[in-house]
């Protein structure tokens, strides 16, 4: 199944630790072509990064964007994916 990758910037909502804000996300948009007859191929995002700085404390967060939700942990000013 072929796939196409390209850099994408998205708007999202970051919330957790009793806080919420809008944020900008940089991600790799992965489009998978299942069948030429499919009107819109499935889309996934990889390598997410919150690109704007904030004063949120270290802790657990979730970011919602483009109808998806990802769990993150903030540690030392960086948001990392968690499971």
* Top-ranked range on mean pLDDT: pick from 21-35, 41-55, 63-77: 63-77
Q: Break the chain into its structural domains and give their ranges.
A: 3-81
Which two tokens mark 13?
Answer: 């909502």
Query: What predicted TM-score, i.e. pTM, was given to this entire model?
Result: 0.80
Q: Tell the burial category of 61 from Cβ atoms under 10 Å away from its Cβ (0-12, 13-18, 19+).
A: buried
Strands of 19-32's sheet in order across: 43-50, 19-32, 3-16, 59-65, 68-75, 78-81
DSSP SS3 for 31: strand
| pLDDT tens readout for residues 21-37 | 999 999 999 987 776 66
């Amino acid at each position: 199944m072929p796939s196409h990758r390209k850099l994408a910037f998205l708007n999202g909502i970051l919330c957790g630790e009793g806080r919420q804000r809008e944020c900008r996300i940089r991600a790799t948009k992965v489009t998978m072509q299942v069948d030429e007859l499919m009107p819109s191929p499935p889309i996934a995002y990889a390598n997410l990064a919150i690109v704007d700085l904030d004063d949120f404390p270290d802790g657990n967060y979730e970011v919602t964007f483009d109808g998806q939700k990802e769990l993150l942990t903030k540690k030392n000013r960086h948001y990392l994916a968690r499971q």
